[in-house]
Amino acid sequence: MAEFKLRLRRYDPESGEAPYWDEHTVELEGHRSVLEGILQVKGSEDGSIGIRCSCRAAICGSCGVRINGEPALACNTHLDRAQQAAEATGGGGVIVVEPMGNMPVIKDLIVDMDAVHWKKIRRVTPWLINKQPVPEREYLVDRESMVDITQTMACIQCGACVSDCLSMEVDPGFIGPAALAKAYRFVGDPRDDRHGERLNALSQDPEGIFDCTHCFKCVQACPKEVNPMGQIMRLRRVATSDFGIVDHNNGERHEKAFTNLVRDYGLLHEAELLPRSYGGDSWFGKFHPAAGKELLSSLPAIMKAVLRGKVSPRKALLGHKLPSRDLKAVQSIYRQVEGKGAKKEAPPKRHELNLYVTGYDEDSEPSPNGDAGDSGADQKEAS
């Protein structure tokens, strides 16, 4: 048995009082969870502590909290590891537990998942709309399709990614990583009949797939390795490349402008990004009225960046200069990826696969040295 100090954030909005911190010491083995520590305090010292939990086995997703500032499942975080993390971050070994972010607090460590998380999940029509006619017995789908969506199916809806989403912090209306990962679960499912409609709605929504800023916070936060940001990027690829969707929010053009600028300059040319996003690659594109409007609204942010020395006006206006050898190397990557110079033929069908599922394929031939051999699906690379 060892002693662990827990620092809990307490808050009851109905009381009208400000939030405060509450410290308790628990005696438990180090491999016991932070949740067990909190429940011990609740059972023996203060029954008024609000914490939500159910399975205690990292399955139901109800005990999401922030531990030492990071989103986590309280039932899946060992006390000794949490203590070590608190020591490493200069917290003197005191385990700090707070409610998740981006959601209103109901009481202490319990947040209102209905007000944010579930509301957003409902926006993506989170059920399968099956293809017609429905087969008499069952739909037959290839295993790669199922491998592809298994990662999103592993989501336990704990809200950890929502808690840490920086885009949602800035724009609370952003549909968010959990809902978009859920959306990919159906877009990647060949039995679903509404891929185009789903993708179009998520692309045209100003708070949809193009509102993600690739901060990777959701990837780090997820306790189940669902990789929500990866699913958002897949939704974008399928929407733009396979369905040719051009959205009103300029998301598709902005991505294109970004990649074309890197192709042309070897690095991002900030001053060109805005005009190209609106007016395309042509020189006259600079005078697109929407680009001017956007530029004007961005001026305060630009001025701030210049004054703080984050951007030098010269570099921003003229772009970065790469040595020509390096620029050629970048451009040759583009030529290879885009297949320029090669004989024109239909692009190969792209498979969206992930490497989430591991294990052996029971049908595969045993290898000569007697082991089970390579699995089919799990060895394929994501493309």
Tokens 């531990």 belong to residue: 67
For the record, the structure tokens of 354 come out as: 């992930």
Find the binder of ligand FES among 19, 29, 55, 290 (CB under 6 A): 55
Least Cβ distance, residue 67 to ligand FES (angstroms): 12
Residue placing its CB nearer to ligand FES in the complex, 60 or 215: 60
Does position 48 interact with ligand FES (CB under 6 A)? The reply is no
Find the binder of ligand FES among 75, 82, 110, 239 (CB under 6 A): 75
Residue placing its CB nearer to ligand FES in the complex, 82 or 274: 82
Amino acid at 56: R
Burial 232-258 (b: 16+ CB within 10 A, else e): bbbbbebbbeeeebebebbbbbbebbe
Does position 42 interact with ligand FES (CB under 6 A)? The reply is no
CA distances from 160 to 88, 126, 209, 305, 321 (A): 22, 19, 19, 31, 41
Does position 121 interact with ligand FES (CB under 6 A)? The reply is no
CA distance 225 to 217: 12
CA distance 155 to 106: 23
Residue placing its CB nearer to ligand FES in the complex, 39 or 235: 39
Please report the DSSP string for 64-130 in residue order: EEEETTEEEEGGGSBHHHHHHHHHHTTSTTPEEEE--SSS-EEETTEE-TIIIIIHHHHTT--S--B
For the record, the structure tokens of 321 come out as: 């200069």
Does position 63 interact with ligand FES (CB under 6 A)? The reply is yes
48-56, 230-238, 259-267, 293-301 -> range binding ligand FES (CB under 6 A)? 48-56
53-61, 87-95, 239-247, 306-314 -> range binding ligand FES (CB under 6 A)? 53-61
Tokens 């410290």 belong to residue: 23
Residue placing its CB nearer to ligand FES in the complex, 33 or 277: 33
Note the helical H segments in 280-320.
289-307, 313-318
13-21, 60-68, 116-124, 213-221 -> range binding ligand FES (CB under 6 A)? 60-68
Does position 78 interact with ligand FES (CB under 6 A)? The reply is no
How many chain residues interact with ligand FES (CB under 6 A)? 12
Does position 225 interact with ligand FES (CB under 6 A)? The reply is no
Q: How many CB atoms lie within 10 A of CB 279?
A: 19
Does position 60 interact with ligand FES (CB under 6 A)? The reply is yes
Contact 51, 36 (CB under 8 A): no
Contact 363, 353 (CB under 8 A): no
Does position 59 interact with ligand FES (CB under 6 A)? The reply is yes
Residue 160 falls in which region: left (phi positive, over 0), alpha (psi -120 to 50) or beta: alpha
55-63, 136-144, 299-307, 328-336 -> range binding ligand FES (CB under 6 A)? 55-63
Does position 72 interact with ligand FES (CB under 6 A)? The reply is no
Least Cβ distance, residue 78 to ligand FES (angstroms): 13
Does position 54 interact with ligand FES (CB under 6 A)? The reply is yes
Residue placing its CB nearer to ligand FES in the complex, 63 or 183: 63
Does position 62 interact with ligand FES (CB under 6 A)? The reply is yes
50-58, 106-114, 174-182, 232-240 -> range binding ligand FES (CB under 6 A)? 50-58
Least Cβ distance, residue 100 to ligand FES (angstroms): 13
Find the binder of ligand FES among 39, 51, 53, 239 (CB under 6 A): 53
Find the binder of ligand FES among 7, 9, 56, 286 (CB under 6 A): 56
CA distances from 113 to 91, 103, 106, 211 (A): 29, 7, 9, 21
Does position 61 interact with ligand FES (CB under 6 A)? The reply is yes
Does position 229 interact with ligand FES (CB under 6 A)? The reply is no
Sequence-distant (6+) residues with CB within 8 A of 154 are: 224, 225, 226, 356
Please report, as ranges, the residues that interact with ligand FES according to CB under 6 A. Answer: 53-56, 58-63, 73, 75
